[in-house]
Amino acid sequence: MAVECYAQRLLNPYRGTMHVIKYEAAEAVTLDGVHWDIYVANDALLQGLQANRWTQITDIRFGAWSAKDGLKRGPIYPSDDFLRMEEMGAIVFEYLTQVHRKVPFPLRDRYELWLLDLHGQPLALLSSVVDEKDMDMEAAVEWRAGYVARDHFASEALPGLGMPAADYLSGHVNARAGACPAAQWIRHEGDGSGAGLQGIGSAEELVGRRLPATAFPPLLLATDWMDAGHRRLASDFHAWQAPWLLALSEIAPALRAELERHARGQAALVERLHRLYPAIVDETAIKAALVEAVMCRTQPAAQQDGAMSPFYIELKQNPPDWERGR
């Protein structure tokens, strides 16, 4: 089996991309292109079983690595398969040291779960997986702006909401899906179109349909159905999401340049995530953000804005597949 390198999106809420180096039952993962965690699993436990997506084996932390700090080994758990697991982890680690500068890796999570609007059209991306066998037919059919957005996203598009703008936007989007929301797994094709697969709820009848590339919103949330005020709210939300959205690969240059200008206002996030951006259009904006981030780090702690980790709350709320079982 060859070593695989790929990326997949962290979704519902969307918080950028996770990049993976995988060999058999070992993988190294990063959320920023700098800090990597290496895990191994005893896949021998699955031999003789009829494994399915619910069959889980606990991952063991092989170690953490960065170019600056080197490898910090995790605890050792002796077992009958220990040497084989060590070998898998060592192969991934060796490969990591050779290719870590080659991020971003191409996105490979082509199986996408879309919340559908009342007309059966893609409304918001809820989940995505690399392999068809991992499609979850019991996923929650609800779009979330997320806890971080609740605390940090603000907009003056609709004054007097009486609640966090993120909560209002979530409710507005989910209302568009109707009282009995439906979702559909769609295989994303190379030309941007989509092939309808299994559905959740009333979407079962849509299996086999073909959707053009124009049916899928480039920023993962459709806004063309909204009135002017709500569209401004969604636009402000996308502007706030800009540092994460820039990790997407299928963004037109003009839209990417606009997102880069918005991301300029969140310099610390840009510094953390910019290594995972597949392209940069406005280099001046990105460089300015990186310089600002460095300058902010040199200020006394009392003068900084107390910026939080962009991931920890969301991953605890809705952990991605690689976190489950660890």
pLDDT, mean of residues 3-27:
97
Same domain for 206 and 249, yes or no, is no
Among residues 26, 165, 37, 156, the alpha carbon closest in space to that of 87 is found at 26
103 in a structural domain: yes
Same domain for 89 and 117, yes or no, is no
Which residues, in sequence order, are bridge partners of residue 36? 30, 65
- At 242 the pLDDT is 98
Residue 14 and residue 273 in contact, taking contact as beta carbons nearer than 8 Å:
no
Same domain for 88 and 59, yes or no, is yes
Same domain for 121 and 68, yes or no, is no
pLDDT, mean of residues 136-140:
94
Whether 78 has a pLDDT exceeding 70, the answer reads no
320 in a structural domain: no
> What mean pLDDT is reported for the chain?
88
pTM here is 0.87
Q: Sheet containing 26-30: give its strands across.
A: 4-9, 17-23, 26-30, 36-41, 59-66, 70-73
Q: Residue 273: CB partners within 8 Å, gap ≥ 6?
A: 16, 32, 243, 244, 246, 247, 310
321 in a structural domain: no
Same domain for 170 and 265, yes or no, is no
Kindly indicate the confidence band of residue 313, based on its pLDDT and cuts at 50, 70 and 90. very low
Return the percentage of the chain with pLDDT > 90, whole number.
78
Number of domains in the chain: 3
- At 321 the pLDDT is 37
Residue 260 and residue 286 in contact, taking contact as beta carbons nearer than 8 Å:
yes
Same domain for 29 and 138, yes or no, is no
Same domain for 102 and 117, yes or no, is no
Helix residue spans in the chain (DSSP H)? 82-99, 147-152, 165-176, 228-240, 242-245, 253-263, 267-273, 283-297, 312-317
pLDDT, mean of residues 180-197:
96
Same domain for 167 and 254, yes or no, is no
Same domain for 124 and 223, yes or no, is yes
Domain span at 304: 237-313
Among residues 11, 7, 218, 244, the alpha carbon closest in space to that of 127 is found at 11
261 in a structural domain: yes
Whether 116 has a pLDDT exceeding 50, the answer reads yes
266 in a structural domain: yes
- At 300 the pLDDT is 63
Whether 316 has a pLDDT exceeding 80, the answer reads no
Handedness of CA 95, 312, 74, 44 (dihedral sign): negative
Last residue of a domain, one of 48, 82, 107: 107
Handedness of CA 209, 214, 219, 223 (dihedral sign): negative
More confident residue, 229 or 307: 229
135 in a structural domain: yes
67 in a structural domain: yes
Structure tokens at 182: 């439906």
pLDDT, mean of residues 74-82:
71
Does residue 150 sit in helix, strand or coil?
A: helix
User: 18-74 pLDDT, tens per residue?
Assistant: 999 999 999 999 999 999 999 998 755 545 445 454 445 467 889 999 999 999 998
Same domain for 229 and 213, yes or no, is yes
165 in a structural domain: yes
More confident residue, 80 or 284: 284
More confident residue, 319 or 249: 249
Kindly indicate the confidence band of residue 296, based on its pLDDT and cuts at 50, 70 and 90. confident
Same domain for 226 and 299, yes or no, is no
Residue type at 256 in one-letter notation: R
Kindly indicate the confidence band of residue 326, based on its pLDDT and cuts at 50, 70 and 90. very low
When mean pLDDT is compared across 20-34, 124-138, 281-295, 308-322, the lowest value belongs to: 308-322
Residue 185 and residue 197 in contact, taking contact as beta carbons nearer than 8 Å:
yes
Last residue of a domain, one of 83, 107, 131: 107
Return the percentage of the chain with pLDDT > 70, whole number.
85
Whether 318 has a pLDDT exceeding 70, the answer reads no
Last residue of a domain, one of 233, 255, 274: 233
pLDDT, mean of residues 132-140:
94
Same domain for 282 and 263, yes or no, is yes
